[in-house]
């Protein structure tokens, strides 16, 4: 039960919930994409994501100089569905969804594009 409480506390902050929700919708995002979505400095985005990693809600992988995040595979799908259902229709989540789609299409950050990410995965990739 402690792990569940820790994750729920981590999600109790708006920017972390927004980042988690973006990962829920888009699968994998790099730190720069998360920072752009939330309109915060990379160091602040990194701190938020570190807390989600500590809470075991998110995993991270460092590939070269870029850090990528995705939802932890052991998360209960019922929890993820409940969260998705709870947030659907929320105006701020709808704005985030549209914004991240534009960010991904225009690829304004310096990390490899989504198409190039598969080739960026290599033996040098490691957990954060």
Q: What is the pTM of this model?
A: 0.87
pLDDT in tens, 80-123: 999 999 999 999 999 999 998 888 888 777 777 665 555 555 55
CATH of the domain at 14: 1.10.10.10
* pLDDT at site 104: 85
8-36 mean pLDDT: 95
Instruction: Give the Cα separation of 64 and 53 in Å (integer).
Output: 19
**Total domains present in the chain:** 1
pLDDT at 56 over 60: yes
Contact between residue 100 and residue 109 where contact means Cβ atoms under 8 Å apart: no
3-class DSSP assignment, residue 88: coil
* pLDDT at site 24: 95
* pLDDT at site 115: 57
Domain span at residue 83 reads 2-127
């Amino acid at each position: 039960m402690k792990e569940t409480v820790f994750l729920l506390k981590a999600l109790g902050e708006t920017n972390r919930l927004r980042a988690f929700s973006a990962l829920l919708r888009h699968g994998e995002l790099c730190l720069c994409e998360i920072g752009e979505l939330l309109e915060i400095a990379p160091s602040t985005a990194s701190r938020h994501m570190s807390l989600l990693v500590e809470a075991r809600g998110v995993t991270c992988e460092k590939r070269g100089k870029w850090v990528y995040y995705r939802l932890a595979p052991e998360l209960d799908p019922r929890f993820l569905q409940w969260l998705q259902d709870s947030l659907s229709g929320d105006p701020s989540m709808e704005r985030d969804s549209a914004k991240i789609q534009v960010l991904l299409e225009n690829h304004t950050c310096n990390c490899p594009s989504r198409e190039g990410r598969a080739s960026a995965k290599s033996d040098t990739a490691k957990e954060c």
